[in-house]
Structure 1
Amino acid sequence: MAGIYIHIPFCKVKCHYCDFHFSVQLATIPKLVEAILLEIDLRTDYLQGETIETIYFGGGTPSVLASNQIERILRKIEDRFAIAENCEITFECNPDDLTKEKLADLKSLKINRLSIGIQSFDEEVLKYMNRAHNSQQAIEAIEWSREMGFENSTVDLIYGIPNLSLDDWKKQVDKMLSFQINHLSAYCLTIENNTVFGAWQKKGELTLPSDETSLAQFQYLIDELPNFGYEQYEISNFAKENSISKHNSAYWLGKAYLGIGPSAHSYNHTQRQWNVANNGKYLKGVQKGTDFYELEDLTIEDRFNDYILTRLRTKWGINLDDLANISLVNLPKTKKILNDKIALGDIEIKGEIYSLTNQGKYVADAISADLFI
């Protein structure tokens, strides 16, 4: 089984925190759609022999596409690949793009999972982040999606925002819970250089909350969400029963995937490939059939470290038998480090699986770095 990711590199406005690849030049959308269709033709053999279990429209903001453009992309994928009968098809969308008519169109295209970019229900926070939608649109997007039959939906929220107190954050989480959403992705704000927030920070015009405040906000999620039936199956992701994201889980579990569109990444177990993060270069390259991507062959060290980085973040944890299948050389050192982390309270072992404790989730990146070859 494998997945396909479609990167739609367009947004109406640039959020102050975002450094993903996108353009606000919406007039070029038709040309990019044609290039995406062409790239699908060019890369039909990448997942040879695989059945497509998940399709994911990400961005950028896929919901800026017209319904007929979305349909053309889906039909092209269906024509070129073997699609599983119960394929999960996820569509990222911003609240301001969602009308009942738009939702009905998405439903008719057999899209069966929505990822709604709420980020916050607080009007002032949305303005501060320069989101395109307001609080009322966020609420309507959730209510309308439910009304139009989208039961399998997720929302995004951001914590660790300047001036966001723990009480403020609790209100955001409680608001989300009131809608009985079956999946939540919650991310701590990180400041990237090529963003408005990055520029403000360099000028001393942005002050992040203390580590203690951000950790308290994260801890509230860990403590509160299980009371409402959510399982934290990955550091930033919480799901009710049978609502885990199949597509994102495939990344963490090391399944193959094909990335289509500017900046999209692909992986087939032995190679990693990534498309150029430039719409113009991507267009020209796809039209020529070359020069729109780079690739690297994965070494044993790459595969070992990728396994550590992805699996440690999840409830599935690290299995030493899996690592042994990649490389036996580093296993004694790996096991010693894991046991040291158990002694510190950062790792726990159940059966053959090493996984993060709640304490360890706070320092997951540092633990992974210690385990890398």
Structure 2
Amino acid sequence: MYWHSLYLGENYKTLAGLYLHIPFCKKACHYCDFHFTQSLRQIDDIVDAICKELVLQNEFLGKDSIYSIYFGGGTPSLLEHHHLKQIMKVIKYEYDLASNIEITLEANPDDLSREKLQAFYDNGVNRLSIGIQSFNNDHLKWMNRQHSGEEAMEAVYEARQVGFENISVDLIYAVPYGDHSIWENDLKQALRLRPEHISSYCLTIEPKTAFGKWLEQGKLYEVEEEFAAEQFEMLIDTLRQYGYDQYEISNFAQPGYESRHNSNYWKDEKYLGVGPSAHSYNGKFRKANVANNAKYLLGLSENKIPFEVIHLSKEDQANEYILTSLRTKWGLNLNHLKNKYGVDLLMVHRDYLNKLSLQDLLYEEDEHLILTDSGKLLADKVASDLFIELNP
């Protein structure tokens, strides 16, 4: 199905996000199932197509101002200075940007030369999300990462020298290993860098990845839930001691440095996704661009965007909000659920919520349901138990 641009006709102005998917990587990490290609042959063409899509989609968010731009992927740090300059020029011309906009670019340490960092900074990027994953060279090699722990440290130091004052680093825990010593050192090394933000994810074995194939072949085992839970608790306790606020289950920030891009998803706000496989949400429906570079380029060559509309029922939207909001420190807004979706969760699940409260897994505060540290270990289970069924 093809779609040009859709204007919803709102006469009010709110804040929204813009996501750009850069579908290129030098090599495939063994755990990754995102859309990308290892061939950079078409990078110029993809950038041109992204710029064209930005023009075609300039009314998707109505009159909303953009207060967050996020370059994700793939590996956006493969972009050259002229690529980023070209994209930003179109964005500035076509969209209303907030004066204090946050512009994030995901980067791999091995791409971050002083020259590349300066090019990002000069083009308005004011937040870096650096995919470190681990400082242990054996673990990095096992994950098929292209940098060393030493290069990761150096990349952050170089970014500081260029002028970046908002840096996030990614870490992966629950890597199969005999004890917690490497994870303890990863946390120690990350804290030495004092990043403003840390995202840390439990290693998940996805089917269509190298790790997924190894698991099928018996060459890889998944860690026990208890082992992963212990490392998760170490993560929370350690970062809390150093002043980081766990504002979402996998995300920790120093005060005032929460990711605007991520918060858009969790708070049920609107965002526009541009590029192959990018998703968008306008408050009424979602859409997903085709996850195929050739089909994406063909569509844009005809001034069309190859996409699929994802129609969400009111029940789907309500349950998605339950799932995402419970992961945050702000919790589930009972009034929002009631006013937007007509669901009185306290009435529907009164007995179960009382049980969770008695088990110290969840509490209510100012019309919000918030998970405790113990509850966060069971977040997905609790959310699914709270899912509601609405009459058609």
- TM norm structure 2: 0.93
Structure 2 letter corresponding to 1:181: P
Q: 1:312-361: CA deviations, max 9, x gaps?
A: 00001012111111233563214443223212222112232111111111
| Aligned match of 2:51 | 37
The reply on whether 1:154 has 2:168 as its aligned counterpart is yes
Structure 2 letter corresponding to 1:293: F
- Cα distance in 1 for partners of 2:189, 2:251 equals 17
- Cα distance in 2 for partners of 1:268, 1:336 equals 35
| Aligned match of 1:131 | 145
The answer for unaligned runs of 5 or more in structure 1 is none
- Cα distance in 1 for partners of 2:148, 2:257 equals 27
Out of 3, 6, 14, the position equivalent to 2:28 is 14
Moved more, 293-302 or 268-277: 293-302
Deviation at 1:35, TM superposition (A): 0.8
Deviation at 1:281, TM superposition (A): 1.0
**Structure-to-structure mapping, 1:200-211, within 5 angstroms:** 200-211=214-225
Out of 328, 345, 355, the position equivalent to 2:360 is 345
- Cα distance in 2 for partners of 1:135, 1:253 equals 35
- Cα distance in 1 for partners of 2:308, 2:380 equals 26
The reply on whether 1:364 has 2:364 as its aligned counterpart is no
Question: Displaced runs of 4+ in structure 1, greater than 6 A?
Answer: none
Structure 2 letter corresponding to 1:122: N
| Aligned match of 2:111 | 97
Q: Secondary structure at the match of 1:171?
A: helix
Q: Is the 8 A contact 2:289 2:305 kept in 1?
A: no
Out of 110, 116, 121, the position equivalent to 2:130 is 116
| Aligned match of 1:143 | 157
**Structure-to-structure mapping, 1:303-342, within 5 angstroms:** 303-329=317-343, 331=345, 332-342=347-357
**Structure-to-structure mapping, 1:217-256, within 5 angstroms:** 217-256=231-270
Deviation at 1:57, TM superposition (A): 0.2
- Cα distance in 2 for partners of 1:264, 1:278 equals 11
Deviation at 1:296, TM superposition (A): 2.8
The answer for unaligned runs of 5 or more in structure 2 is 1-14
Deviation at 1:164, TM superposition (A): 6.0
Q: Is the 8 A contact 1:303 1:326 kept in 2?
A: no
RMSD after superposition: 1.2
Q: Secondary structure at the match of 1:266?
A: strand
Q: Is the 8 A contact 1:92 1:117 kept in 2?
A: yes
Q: Secondary structure at the match of 1:225?
A: helix
- Cα distance in 2 for partners of 1:213, 1:35 equals 45
| Aligned match of 2:7 | none
- Cα distance in 1 for partners of 2:316, 2:362 equals 23
Q: Secondary structure at the match of 1:359?
A: helix
- Cα distance in 1 for partners of 2:33, 2:226 equals 25
Out of 299, 302, 307, the position equivalent to 1:288 is 302
Moved more, 16-25 or 277-286: 277-286
Deviation at 1:51, TM superposition (A): 0.4
Deviation at 1:37, TM superposition (A): 0.8
Out of 201, 204, 210, the position equivalent to 1:196 is 210
Q: How many pairs are equivalent?
A: 373
Q: Is the 8 A contact 2:20 2:274 kept in 1?
A: yes
- Cα distance in 2 for partners of 1:112, 1:291 equals 29
Q: Secondary structure at the match of 1:232?
A: strand
Moved more, 216-225 or 325-334: 325-334
Q: 1:148-195: CA deviations, max 9, x gaps?
A: 111100000000111262121011001100111111000000000100
- Cα distance in 2 for partners of 1:326, 1:247 equals 22
Out of 356, 360, 370, the position equivalent to 1:355 is 370
| Aligned match of 2:292 | 278
Q: Is the 8 A contact 1:274 1:294 kept in 2?
A: yes
The reply on whether 1:106 has 2:115 as its aligned counterpart is no
Q: Is the 8 A contact 1:17 1:196 kept in 2?
A: yes
Q: Is the 8 A contact 1:182 1:243 kept in 2?
A: yes
Moved more, 297-306 or 221-230: 297-306
